[in-house]
């Protein structure tokens, strides 16, 4: 990574509605081909994030974890592809299962348990790292990996001005 191309910020949310609202703010920046990696423990809020993101894209279908299929597709302003790698044995299995699909170039792809893909995950993406489970507040760290993803930080800054929810640059 070239210095200056990684942008990082942390937001604290205290309820699932706030996590969904954060995701909705970010969805304003979504463009075709975008990739969002959702990382956090069981019950951290990755699917809550996907629900908020999808709602802001205009997805009207109910978004649930795609437990029995590797990928679910929803219609919105852009197509949204929702992948859950929890049951994945290894990256090779994902590739064999057609995880990277040419249709994703036309939409935005959200990947739960993205760390299971390790180096097979494209390097340019938005990382959403969710720390906390249960009733605890969530520390949600957003990392723009690659210059194209800085626009998510701009969308967040615009929304944070309105809500006052943002913590400064950590």
Residues 45-104 that bind ligand ATP (CB under 6 A): 45-48, 65, 86
Among 32, 43, 98, 147, binds ligand ATP (CB under 6 A): 43
Give yes or no for residue 167 binding ligand ATP (CB under 6 A): no
Left (φ > 0), alpha (ψ -120 to 50) or beta: where does 164 sit? left
Nearer to ligand ATP, 151 or 166 (CB): 166
93-132 residues near Mg ion, rule: CB under 5 A: 112
Stated as kind and residue range, the H or E segment containing 144 is strand 138-145
Judge contact between 52 and 80, C-beta under 8 A.
no
- How many residues make contact with Mg ion (CB under 5 A)? 4
Interacting residue with ligand ATP among 25, 128, 138, 156 (CB under 6 A): 138
Residue 14 vs 103, nearer CB to ligand ATP: 14
Classify 156 as helix, strand or coil: helix
Q: Nearest 5 degrees, angle CA 30-CA 49-CA 94?
A: 80
**Closest to 19 in 3D by CA, of 42, 45, 38, 39:** 45
Nearest distance from C-beta of residue 86 to Mg ion, angstroms: 7
- Pick the closer one to Mg ion by CB: 112 or 127: 112
- CA–CA dist 131, 139 (Å, integer): 5
The Cα 138–Cα 19 span in angstroms is 8
Q: Contact positions toward ligand ATP, by CB under 6 A?
A: 13-16, 18-19, 40, 42-48, 65, 86, 112, 138
Q: Contact positions toward Mg ion, by CB under 5 A?
A: 46-47, 65, 112
């Amino acid at each position: 990574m070239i210095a200056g191309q990684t942008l990082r910020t942390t937001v604290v949310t205290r309820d699932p509605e706030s996590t969904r609202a954060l995701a909705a703010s970010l969805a304003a920046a979504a463009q075709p081909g975008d990739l969002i990696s959702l990382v956090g423990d069981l019950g951290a809020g990755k699917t809550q994030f996907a629900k908020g993101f999808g709602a802001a894209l205009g997805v009207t279908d109910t978004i649930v974890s795609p437990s029995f299929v590797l990928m679910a597709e929803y219609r919105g302003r852009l197509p949204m592809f929702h992948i859950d790698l929890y049951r994945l044995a290894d990256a090779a299995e994902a590739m064999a299962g057609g995880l990277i699909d040419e249709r994703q170039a036309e939409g935005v792809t959200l990947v739960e348990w993205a760390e299971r893909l390790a180096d097979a995950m494209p390097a340019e993406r938005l990382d959403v790292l969710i720390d906390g489970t249960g009733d605890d507040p969530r520390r949600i760290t957003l990392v723009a990996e690659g210059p194209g993803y800085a626009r998510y930080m701009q969308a967040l800054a615009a929304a944070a001005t309105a809500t006052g929810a943002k913590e400064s640059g950590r």
